[in-house]
Amino acid sequence: MIVIPAVDLRGGSCVQLVGGDYADERVRLDDPLAVARDWSRIGFSRLHVVDLDAATSRGANTEVIRDLLREASVPVQVGGGVREDTQIERLLDDGASWVVIGTRAIEDEDWRGEMAHRFPGRLIIAADVRERRVVTRGWAETSRLDVIDFVQELAVLPLAGVLVTAVHKEGKMEGTDLPLMEDVADASAWPVFASGGVSSFEDLRALEHRGLAGAVLGMALYTGALDARRLAEEYGV
């Protein structure tokens, strides 16, 4: 299993939010390129970049992402507000190894299928979840879609993976939602990456034991709750 540091962008800075709440910003670092360089230098072999402003229609961090991709020494997956084929093309052209798509991929089955076949092996579908229901538009809207049903529908598409974020755990440092992640891993035909609440090596070992391919970490890394060098040594590759 691999650990992937999150670089969440808001207003040109790298931030960490609690529970997806814009009013509860716990971490802010003004130089996201330096942050990305540090994670690579420590030994992590992949980065997860999210444009929070684009995800919530508050703006975009396009130039920051372009600069980050240009400078990156490790593969980068990028998401947040990607709802058009032109955005996918641009991100891949700019150097993203994978593009993470969420809201439109959930709401528009035809577009989801078209994009997956147009960019085989380059897309990761994000299913952000609150109490087993998929949420969209920057976690602002809760659908009636059960995450297990949704993940099973993805088996026919040539994806790079599925990213499941337990929104109700995000940034709270209370441990991940293991039953949710285990059920998703069992249901998915594709590698599953977990996000939300990971706060200990025990959490990571439990996820690994349950068949998760990776975990995206934010708050635990940025607050120093987990030792980044030890993480990179054990789960960096």
Q: Is 10 helix (H, G, I), strand (E, B) or coil?
A: strand
Query: Is residue 53 within 8 Å of residue 10, measured between CB atoms?
Result: yes
How far apart CA 147 and CA 168 sit, in angstroms, is 14
Query: Is residue 117 within 8 Å of residue 95, measured between CB atoms?
Result: no
Query: Is residue 72 within 8 Å of residue 95, measured between CB atoms?
Result: yes
Question: What is the CA angle 231-232-237, rounded to 5?
Answer: 120
Residue 145: alpha-carbon gap to chain centroid: 19
What is the 3-class SS of 36-59, one letter each residue? HHHHHHHCCCCEEEEEHHHHCCCC
In the set 38, 85, 93, 128, the catalytic residue is 128
Residue 67 appears among annotated catalytic residues: no
Mode of pairing for the β-strands spanning 214-217 and 2-10: parallel
Q: Is the dihedral of CA 76, 197, 33, 21 positive or negative?
A: positive
In the set 8, 51, 177, 203, the catalytic residue is 8
How far apart CA 207 and CA 201 sit, in angstroms, is 10
Residue 203 appears among annotated catalytic residues: no
Closest to 168 in 3D by CA, of 204, 195, 203: 195
Just list the catalytic residues. 8, 128
